[in-house]
């Protein structure tokens, strides 16, 4: 075993660390953009949903994908569209959110079954997973933190006892993606002490 072989493993670990830091920084930046421009984020995610529906319709005419995969994907996009009707307020305990999660899991299972049974080049499989399965759920995941910093306008309060502002401020601590990154930044990174002159 040569020393260059050992260096290649050290280099691989360094690359993995740099890639992880770059992805975390990119997610942090995107989460901040979504919080600042919620209406633009809403339009972009809605266009992503429309583009994914268009891709599924093109599969009907040009590829021999199973109908189960296409119908499950279209149903998932329908649930994503229903979630977008209240954007940026996304309720985790709701039928559209639960339906989108269940259909995401089922769609992954169907895709794994199909692509292990029939040969497709890796780039085509990656394109299907990226565009049809991961793009919209990832955009919705990043936009979860937008709910924390939007001022309340109307809320469908199930209790009916609190007004909109009281309900908003009684929710307690923010728990979005940006809050997680801020917590990680505060707890993991060293802080600078300001010098007083």
Whether residue 185 lies inside any domain: the answer is no
b/e for 153-184, b at 16 or more Cβ within 10 A?
eeeeeeeeeeeeeebeeeeeeeebbbbbbeee
Whether residue 77 lies inside any domain: the answer is yes
pLDDT at 40: 83
Number of neighbouring beta carbons within 10 Å of residue 121: 8
Q: For 81-90, what is each residue's pLDDT tens digit?
A: 888 887 777 7
pLDDT at 114: 93
Predicted TM-score of the model (pTM):
0.65
Whether residue 14 lies inside any domain: the answer is no
Residues 34, 129, 70, 104: is their CA dihedral positive or negative? negative
Per the structure, how many domains does the chain have?
1
- Looking at per-residue pLDDT, the higher value among 178 and 65 belongs to 65
Total residue length of the chain? 197
Interatomic CA distance for residues 57 and 39, integer angstroms: 27
Interatomic CA distance for residues 137 and 142, integer angstroms: 9
In terms of residue numbers, what domain contains 84?
Answer: 37-177
Region 120-138: mean pLDDT is: 89
Whether residue 171 lies inside any domain: the answer is yes
Interatomic CA distance for residues 75 and 136, integer angstroms: 13
Region 67-72: mean pLDDT is: 91
Q: How many CA atoms lie within 13 A of 54 on its CB side?
A: 6
Residue 93: which pLDDT band, with cuts at 50, 70 and 90?
Answer: confident
Q: For 137-190, what is each residue's pLDDT tens digit?
A: 888 888 776 665 555 555 454 555 555 455 555 555 555 556 666 777 777 766
Whether residue 1 lies inside any domain: the answer is no
Region 69-73: mean pLDDT is: 91
Which of 56-65, 75-84, 123-132, 174-183 has the lowest average pLDDT? 174-183
pLDDT at 196: 62
Number of neighbouring beta carbons within 10 Å of residue 68: 13
Whether residue 184 lies inside any domain: the answer is no
């Amino acid at each position: 075993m040569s020393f260059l072989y050992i260096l290649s493993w050290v280099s691989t670990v360094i690359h993995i660390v740099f890639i992880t830091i770059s992805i975390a920084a990119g997610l942090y930046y995107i989460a901040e953009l979504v919080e600042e421009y919620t209406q633009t984020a809403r339009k972009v995610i809605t266009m992503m949903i429309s583009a994914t529906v268009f891709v599924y319709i093109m599969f009907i005419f040009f590829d021999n994908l199973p109908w189960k995969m296409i119908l499950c994907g279209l149903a998932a996009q329908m649930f994503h569209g229903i979630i977008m009707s209240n954007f940026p307020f996304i309720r985790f305990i709701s039928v559209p959110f639960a339906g989108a999660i269940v259909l995401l899991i089922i769609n992954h299972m169907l895709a794994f079954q199909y692509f292990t049974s029939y040969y497709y080049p890796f780039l085509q499989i990656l394109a299907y997973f990226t565009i049809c399965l991961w793009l919209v759920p990832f955009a919705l995941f990043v936009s979860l933190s937008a709910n924390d910093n939007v001022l309340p306008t109307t809320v469908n309060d199930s209790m009916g006892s609190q007004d909109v502002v009281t309900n908003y401020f009684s929710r307690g601590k923010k728990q979005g993606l940006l809050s997680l990154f801020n917590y990680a930044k505060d707890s993991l990174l060293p802080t600078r002490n300001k010098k007083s002159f």
